[in-house]
């Protein structure tokens, strides 16, 4: 329960920080789904809320123990670095790799005995996080161009981003297969996730839904995560 609360508070601080930092960009892009961009909420208020949530997350995280607490705070700090600076640089994928890659560390070290997770599980999580990052930009090409966001995916373009996202999902699937000894359930999940990435090129069509690429990758990720939790969760740590 404490782990869930710490993660929730950390994610809330990241989301509020993103809204406060990107208020001007979101306004230029006409984002009506962002209260700060529409002027319904002050950016200063959201910024203050983000800082309060971040401060609260420190004791919540450390209450888990210094190992999971430090890993969680590093993951949250990495995400804040993305919001504050790295999202518009070639290094935009790094916070995704770090934050997602640390998630198995947070969960594993919060267990009795504080064991470390299998490196392949951390690598798979990092791959999935970066895949989502690349896929998420495909539907935002126009807005990113208007606001000058030039992260790694924007610099290589939508077509290359689709290829990179697909390769990363496949790599994550392979890593999970290796970590779980290729059980029937994980094999089925891998087949479903690979089938999902095969249709990713359809998201480049002008008539395609705006965030089809991102939703497709998230669907593939969901198959892998559910299969791992149900059938391979006991493989989180080396046994």
Q: For position 70, what pLDDT does the model report?
A: 96
Integer Cα distance of 102 and 68 in angstroms = 9
Integer Cα distance of 223 and 86 in angstroms = 29
- List C-alpha distances in Å: 170 to 20, 128, 200: 35, 9, 13
Integer Cα distance of 65 and 59 in angstroms = 10
Integer Cα distance of 106 and 111 in angstroms = 9
Which residue in 143, 129, 134 sits closest to 79, CA to CA?
129
Tens-place pLDDT, residues 108-123: 898 888 888 889 889 9
Is the pLDDT score of 14 beyond 80? yes
Compare 40 and 129 and report the one with higher pLDDT: 129
Q: What are the residue boundaries of the structural domains of the chain, listed by start?
A: 1-63, 69-235
Rg (CA), the chain: 18
Is the pLDDT score of 148 beyond 80? no
| Per-residue pLDDT band at 64 (split at 50, 70, 90) | very high
Is the pLDDT score of 53 beyond 60? yes
Evaluate whether 28 touches 147 at the Cβ level (below 8 Å): yes
Is the pLDDT score of 146 beyond 80? no
Average pLDDT over residues 180-197: 81
Integer Cα distance of 116 and 67 in angstroms = 10
**Strand blocks (E) in the chain:** none
Evaluate whether 169 touches 163 at the Cβ level (below 8 Å): no
Is the pLDDT score of 75 beyond 90? yes
What is the DSSP secondary structure assignment for residue 208, as one 8-state letter? S
Residues in CB range of 90: below 8 A, 6 or more apart: 151, 152, 155
Tens-place pLDDT, residues 196-211: 888 777 777 776 676 7
Q: Which residues pair with 237 in a beta bridge?
A: 117
Which residue in 75, 83, 64, 119 sits closest to 100, CA to CA?
75
Integer Cα distance of 146 and 143 in angstroms = 5
Q: What percent of the chain has pLDDT over 90?
A: 41
Q: Please give the backbone phi and psi of residue 181, each rounded to the nearest 5 degrees, phi first.
A: 60, 30
Is the pLDDT score of 190 beyond 80? yes
């Amino acid at each position: 329960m404490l782990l869930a609360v710490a993660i929730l508070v950390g994610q809330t601080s990241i989301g509020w920080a993103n809204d406060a930092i990107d208020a001007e960009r979101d306004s230029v892009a006409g984002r009506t789904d962002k209260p700060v961009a529409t002027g319904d909420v002050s950016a200063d208020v959201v910024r203050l809320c983000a800082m309060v949530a971040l401060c609260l997350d420190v004791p919540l995280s450390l209450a888990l123990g210094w190992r999971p607490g430090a890993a969680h705070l590093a993951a949250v700090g990495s995400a804040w670095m993305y919001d504050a600076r790295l999202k518009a640089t070639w290094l935009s994928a790094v916070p995704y790799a770090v934050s997602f890659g640390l998630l198995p560390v947070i969960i594993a070290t919060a267990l009795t005995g504080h064991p470390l997770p299998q490196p392949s599980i951390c690598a798979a999580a990092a791959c999935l996080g970066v895949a989502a990052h690349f896929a998420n930009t495909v539907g935002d090409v126009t807005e990113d161009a208007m606001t000058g966001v030039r992260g790694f995916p924007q610099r290589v373009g939508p077509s290359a981003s689709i290829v990179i996202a697909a390769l990363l999902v496949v790599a994550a699937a392979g890593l999970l297969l290796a970590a779980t000894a290729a059980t029937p359930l994980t094999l089925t999940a891998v087949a479903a996730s690979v089938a999902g990435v095969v249709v990713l090129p359809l998201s480049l069509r002008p008539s395609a839904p705006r965030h089809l690429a991102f939703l497709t990758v998230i669907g593939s990720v969901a198959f892998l995560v559910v299969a791992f939790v149900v059938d391979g969760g006991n493989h989180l740590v080396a046994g």
